[in-house]
Chains A and B, each alone.
Chain A
Amino acid sequence: GGIITQTPKFLIGQEGQKLTLKCQQNFNHDTMYWYRQDSGKGLRLIYYSITENDLQKGDLSEGYDASREKKSSFSLTVTSAQKNEMAVFLCASSMGERLFFGHGTKLSVL
C-alpha cells in the first residue's frame, strides 16, 4: 500500500503571510488534489493536477497557488493568509477515480 504525507500537520500564520503546504504520495498516482474543509461544509476543490507540471483550477482557487514539481509531490500556497481563517487542507491522489487522502494540514491564522 501507499501513503500520502502532508506537512506540516499544523500551521499557524500571521495575517497577510504567504504560507506553503506540502504533499507527497508514493502510490505513483497520476492525479493529485488539494481540498479545503471548513466546519459545516463539504470539501471544496482548490487545485488539482493530472500529471507533473500540470495545474487545473478548482472552485476555490482564488487566493491560492499550487505547484506540481514532480509526480509524487504537490504543494499549495496560501498567497495572503486571512485573519481568523481556520480550515483543514486535505491533499489527495488518485489513479482513475478512487481518491485517497492525506491526514490534513490544520491552518490557523492569528
Chain B
Amino acid sequence: GDQVEQSPSALSLHEGTGSALRCNFTTTMRAVQWFRKNSRGSLINLFYLASGTKENGRLKSAFDSKERYSTLHIRDAQLEDSGTYFCAASHQGGRALIFGTGTTVSVSP
C-alpha cells in the first residue's frame, strides 16, 4: 500500500483563515519535506524536517517520526498561498523520497 497518505486532497480557504494539511506514514521515516507547486509548475521546497517543528512566515510544519505523521499549517491565508502542496518522506537508510498525492489549496477573497 501507499507509504505516504496525504490529506485532504483539496482545501478551500478564505483569505485570513487557516488550516492544516497532514501526511501519515505507514512506516518510520527519517525526514520529511514539504513542497508547493506554483502557477508555473515549479516545485518549491518549503521545509525539510528531521524532527520537531519549523516555521517560515505564515507556514509552520511539524514532524513526528515516532507517531508517523507530519503536518503543514497555513495561517492567515493569502491568495498567493493557492497551489498544490506535497509532502515527501525518506526512509531510514533510504535515499529516495516517497511523495504524497498532494493537496490542492484554493484561497479565495
User: Known contacts being A90-B43, A103-B40, is A44 close to B101, with CB within 8 Å?
Assistant: no
Provide 26 A-B residue pairs closer than 8 Å at the C-beta atoms, listed in order of the A residue.
Answer: A31-B95, A33-B96, A35-B99, A40-B101, A41-B101, A42-B4, A42-B6, A42-B88, A42-B100, A42-B101, A42-B102, A43-B97, A43-B99, A44-B99, A48-B95, A50-B95, A56-B95, A58-B96, A59-B96, A97-B33, A99-B33, A99-B35, A99-B97, A100-B45, A102-B42, A103-B42
Q: Is the interface of B mostly helix, strand, loop or mixed?
A: strand
Per-residue interface assignment for chain B, residues 5 to 43, with 1 indicating a CB less than 8 Å from any chain A CB and 0 otherwise: 010000000000000000000000001010100001111
- Which residue from A48, A56, A97, A104 sits with its C-beta under 8 Å from B41? A104
Residues A103 and B41 in contact, CB atoms below 8 Å apart: yes
Per-residue interface assignment for chain A, residues 68 to 110, with 1 indicating a CB less than 8 Å from any chain B CB and 0 otherwise: 0000000000000000000010101000011111111000000
Residues A88 and B48 in contact, CB atoms below 8 Å apart: no
Where the two chains meet, the residues of A that have a C-beta atom closer than 8 Å to any C-beta of B are 31, 33, 35, 40-45, 48, 50, 56, 58-59, 88, 90, 92, 97-104
Cβ < 8 Å to A, chain B residues 41-88 = 41-45, 48, 86, 88
What chain B residues lie within 8 Å of A102 (beta carbons)?
42
Residues B42 and A97 in contact, CB atoms below 8 Å apart: no
In Å, the complex CA distance between A99 and B44 comes to 9
Q: What 4 A-B pairs come out closest when comparing CB atoms?
A: A42-B99, A101-B43, A43-B99, A98-B48
In Å, the complex CA distance between A103 and B43 comes to 7
Residues B86 and A42 in contact, CB atoms below 8 Å apart: yes
What chain A residues lie within 8 Å of B44 (beta carbons)?
101
State the Cβ distance, B3 to closest chain A Cβ, in Å.
Answer: 10
State the Cβ distance, B30 to closest chain A Cβ, in Å.
Answer: 8
- In the assembled complex, B106 has its CB within 8 A of some CB on chain A: no
In Å, the complex CA distance between A92 and B44 comes to 11
Residues A43 and B88 in contact, CB atoms below 8 Å apart: yes
Residues A97 and B86 in contact, CB atoms below 8 Å apart: no
